[in-house]
Chain A
């Protein structure tokens, strides 16, 4: 794991997201410093996922609305996506046709080849070591989510964007998630996640989204 603390911070200024000509979000403002976590809350359809995907760069937004800073230096968008972002959506990003071990090794090869040897340890950490050879299509939703969490760990990256990460996880899994997130923040990592009532991170800030804007 990286010993150097991360120094990435994030500034969102008057962010608006449109989809098919309809305003999903408008006038969102916040900033996140290294070590901070932001929990996005709001009703279904309030635009939590849209906001996360905009941060990940998957939807078109105005350049100046989202700024990533390294220390005080603004960073290039492509550079951010290539080396500093993790996105964990509700789809998990796991390949159902591959085995558990093949999934994690593929991520390692693409994202951080030097860390491929850590794969067995990480599977142990998320409680999947007995399932290493199992095809992912046969795993439960919670186990797939646990597997997806190893992607965040095998390649150290500063910003974690997580869409309802606690869903499908059992109590033990949620505790593990909290522990991983807190460890990430302790290294200076930034976390933006969406959650319903019932899951939060200790001393995380909250942002309430309502249709058409944010409070």
Chain B
């Protein structure tokens, strides 16, 4: 247990040294702030599209943060060190993915609140949006990181990761935006979103561990 916390802390520190976190947050804020410029100042329109729009931006931010994830760890031999610790590789991957979510996705769901207000969404919509991002982004982070682990051995693999991630992100995007918009099927959408994240949480660490093993052969 102690070693897990230690690795998580080290991992967060290491990710914070990289550009992924600030770049993803920057993209989200900038895109949200620029949206009114391209969509016009029709307040009703902005407020209506805000949940869907911010979900797309969140997906893009999560993808942007994948740049180089695990690639350095593989080329610097860090995985070789981590595989010779008491932590099993799937747990190492789980902690790394968790750190990725904390550094890249968590700031986005906090930033969604001011950006939501900026686009003219009301309080309840904004809170639902942030909550739906909180429930749905773990799926984005875990699936994205899993694909990054598979492509970690490829030079310039990030381009491939983005295309591979699209079909997996689609369900989160559909139900996330639905949950944020509210309405009759909101509860169902939230439940689907949580299920999606839980499935990703349960499977991705093992797939990523197998991928890293394969990449190290």
Contact = CB atoms under 8 A, between A and B. Distances in A.
Bound pair (A, B): yes
Interface of A: 19, 53, 56-60, 78, 81-83, 85-87, 89-98, 102, 106-107, 109-111, 113, 151
B41 interface: no
Nearest to B2: A113
Nearest to A109: B6
B14 A97 contact: yes
Contacts of B86: 82-83
9 contacts: A58-B213, A59-B217, A86-B84, A91-B75, A91-B80, A93-B76, A94-B77, A96-B72, A110-B6
- Among B2, B7, B84, B85, the most chain A Cβ lie within 10 Å of the Cβ of B84
B7 A91 contact: no
A89 B77 contact: yes
Given A19-B217, A59-B217, A93 B80 contact: yes
A90 B75 CA distance: 10
Contacts of B217: 19, 58-60
A149 to B, nearest CB: 13
B3 interface: yes
A56 B216 CA distance: 11
B156 interface: no
A95 B7 CA distance: 14
Interface of B: 2-3, 6-7, 10, 13-14, 17-18, 72, 75-78, 80-86, 88, 213, 216-217
Contacts of B75: 91
List the 3 closest A-B pairs by CB distance, nearest first. A91-B77, A93-B77, A97-B17
Contacts of A94: 76-77
A95 B76 contact: yes
Contacts, number: 71
B14 A98 contact: yes
A186 B146 CA distance: 44
A109 B72 contact: no
A111 B82 CA distance: 9
A59 B213 CA distance: 8
Contacts of A107: 81
Given A97-B72, A111-B85, 12 more contacts: A81-B84, A82-B85, A87-B84, A91-B75, A92-B77, A93-B76, A94-B76, A98-B17, A109-B10, A110-B7, A110-B85, A151-B81
Nearest to B75: A91
B140 to A, nearest CB: 24
A207 B86 CA distance: 31
A95 B79 CA distance: 11
Contacts of A19: 217
Contacts of B80: 56, 58, 87, 89, 91, 93
Contact of B76 (A53, A86, A96, A111): A96
A83 B84 CA distance: 7
Contacts of B18: 97
A37 B84 CA distance: 21
B83 A58 contact: yes
Contacts of A106: 10
Contacts of A87: 80-81, 84
A57 B6 contact: no
A82 B84 contact: yes
A148 B2 CA distance: 24
A69 B3 CA distance: 26
A136 B10 CA distance: 16
A19 B216 CA distance: 11
B58 to A, nearest CB: 26
Contacts of B81: 87, 93, 107, 110, 151
Nearest to B11: A106
A92 B82 CA distance: 13
A111 B3 CA distance: 9
A97 B3 CA distance: 21
